[in-house]
Structure 1
């Protein structure tokens, strides 16, 4: 194995492939990054039996071959190299890396013990990379982080014709994002539960190209796999991950079909007010929101403790209402909304509120992204 490649191209690809390496691998070789030289150029791969990453990038290949080295160490080295071409060769049981006057020698791992990467399923369709990244970033906001409830750490991806729905919940909030894509067949219909962290990292990392290919295979009990492919650095990047096994809760019915109070507020003003008022909110206590006569009043703190109150303008239609929310969950939803105005729809104070964005105080809400948030009990 011998090749020459531009430093920035190599460093970026190595960092991307190494990002999902396990911190405590079940076997030592899973901490490795597989380097292969082929007719297609340079191929860098990682795999932990759950998620795989494969980057193909242009390189001047002199000799074909393969080697397995510590992925994190190689990423650290590549990040520190001078801005000059990099040469790598196999030298016995070591890999020699040269960049300008800098030289490194890396111990190799037994490449024959490295597991074969899963094959990419057949392409299901393509989606605009920027749209996909933005949609995923909104959806994963509500995904659970408790590994004791693994089903809730995933994002439910539903394909129906030219539409994709992304749903996530941690039991206290729910996100729902709709987006358009180009399916391989017009009557495409499928559903998958994708690990939220993998989905978020992948969508964010594949924005260099204009399109992301989604490949989904759900055949075989518990053996479902989803793959994502896009272009970057003059090459191709591909990620696959096993789908989560389990029944995602039927959450669509949680969105109410009617409301008694509808409020619209400037998003930036509300975000800043929540941040200020919540400074005095004790752990696990709510920030109170009271909507009445064109004003939203926020309160936090109680009794002999520190207290805060602030009022901002709001457009309020329907009944006056006072409710309270976990301030961080509220901020998560607000920051996920891209529009300058946020619309909050209520049925009653003890029921969930639904948040969506609008271009102006007078425009209809954009329901492509909705964020449902459970209220918190207010301290008397």
Structure 2
């Protein structure tokens, strides 16, 4: 395989697929990126056997072929070369030589034929186009609530639910829940639920972060594929039953407070400084048109904050994990938040007063 390419033209797709390369591998080949030169197209593939990332770029190819190069070394070399530099790559199953001006790098390769075969989507599959911005919005508004290495493995991912009314995304770690729906037209007869693992969601966010056009989503019995014009992600699905989120989301209460989001976030950040480092608890006290925040720690230090809010319900005092509240404040980008709490032992329902498609639930904690 022999080709010429601009430094940036190689760096961009390489950065798109590097997320699939783990720092520690069970197989030496998984540290490599597969380059396939065919026609005028160079395709790059990286995998950890759970997720696979692919990217394509048009370039000048002198000799067609394929090679498996050490991914992180190739990335570091490209990063440290001048931006406008022309690269010449000559690679086979044993060695790759990369030339850039007066620089020359010789890299050890592995046989390309030994690179893991990428499984195609199997089983009865569902495929549909969706604007990249819509999918990005769904994932960004919910992904932060996924569990991380929880023994309840089905919580270590994001639920995608499809039916003829649209697409829903739900994430929970057992202490909080994030829900977002997008009422798009999908030609689907039966409701379908799949759980995409945490790493697949993280790489999906990177893949479609700046995607302005449509992306194609294909869901099979054990895999999901998201395809843009030049990039693709294939991820295994978590085989498990996601909790019934409808039972977790409380009905709206008469005890509703509308707060300024930025002011509330800043008050939480200040109060959190003196919260217990392990439990991160903060006490919210709601009275007529007033919200008080209180935090304390084992060293008898205490923080108090007061702010004006729009509230005319019952007087309430309830504790929450301050980080969960901050995550919601950082995710919602509108001017105000609506907090609905039935009683001191109930979960809080938090949402944008003007948008019903996004809802957050935070369980109370005993302080």
| TM-score between the two structures when normalised by the length of structure 2 | 0.94
1: distance between equivalents of 2:280 and 2:18? 40
Structure 1 position 127 matched with structure 2 position 122: no
Distance 1:302 1:87, change over 3 A: closer
Q: Cα offset for 1:304?
A: 6.0
Q: Cα offset for 1:305?
A: 1.3
Structure 1 residue runs of 4 or more that deviate by more than 6 Å after TM superposition:
none
Instruction: Confirm or deny: 8 A CA contact 1:177 1:370 kept in the other structure.
Output: yes
Q: What residue number does 1:229 align with?
A: 227
Instruction: Confirm or deny: 8 A CA contact 1:52 1:118 kept in the other structure.
Output: no
Instruction: Confirm or deny: 8 A CA contact 1:82 1:100 kept in the other structure.
Output: no
Instruction: Report the number of matched residues.
Output: 362
Give CA-to-partner distance per residue, 1:334-372, whole Å, 9 cap, x none.
2111221010011111110011013xxxxxx31211110
Matches within 5 A, 1:220-369: 224-231=222-229, 236-283=230-277, 284-301=279-296, 305-358=300-353, 365-369=354-358
Structure 1 position 196 matched with structure 2 position 198: yes
Structure 1: tracts of 5 or more residues without a match: 219-223, 359-364
Structure 1 position 98 matched with structure 2 position 93: no
Structure 2: tracts of 5 or more residues without a match: none
Bigger mean CA offset, 87-96 vs 68-77? 87-96
Distance 1:370 1:68, change over 3 A: same
Instruction: Confirm or deny: 8 A CA contact 1:137 1:200 kept in the other structure.
Output: no
Give CA-to-partner distance per residue, 1:152-177, whole Å, 9 cap, x none.
11111000125111111100001111
Distance 1:238 1:367, change over 3 A: same
Structure 1 position 375 matched with structure 2 position 346: no
SS in 2 for 1:316: coil
2: distance between equivalents of 1:304 and 1:167? 38
SS in 2 for 1:140: helix
Q: What residue number does 2:51 align with?
A: 51
Distance 1:263 1:113, change over 3 A: same
1: distance between equivalents of 2:266 and 2:136? 26
Bigger mean CA offset, 143-152 vs 260-269? 143-152
SS in 2 for 1:75: helix
Instruction: Confirm or deny: 8 A CA contact 1:125 1:181 kept in the other structure.
Output: no
2: distance between equivalents of 1:302 and 1:31? 45
Q: Cα offset for 1:137?
A: 1.2
Q: Cα offset for 1:208?
A: 3.2
Q: Cα offset for 1:302?
A: 5.9
Instruction: Confirm or deny: 8 A CA contact 2:54 2:231 kept in the other structure.
Output: yes
Give CA-to-partner distance per residue, 1:115-144, whole Å, 9 cap, x none.
111225766112221222122011111110
Bigger mean CA offset, 137-146 vs 116-125? 116-125
Instruction: Confirm or deny: 8 A CA contact 1:259 1:346 kept in the other structure.
Output: yes
Q: Cα offset for 1:245?
A: 1.0
2: distance between equivalents of 1:46 and 1:125? 25
2: distance between equivalents of 1:100 and 1:188? 58
Q: What's the RMSD between the two structures over aligned residues?
A: 1.8
Matches within 5 A, 1:44-193: 44-83=44-83, 84-90=85-91, 93-119=94-120, 124-183=127-186, 185=187, 187=189, 189-193=191-195
SS in 2 for 1:19: helix
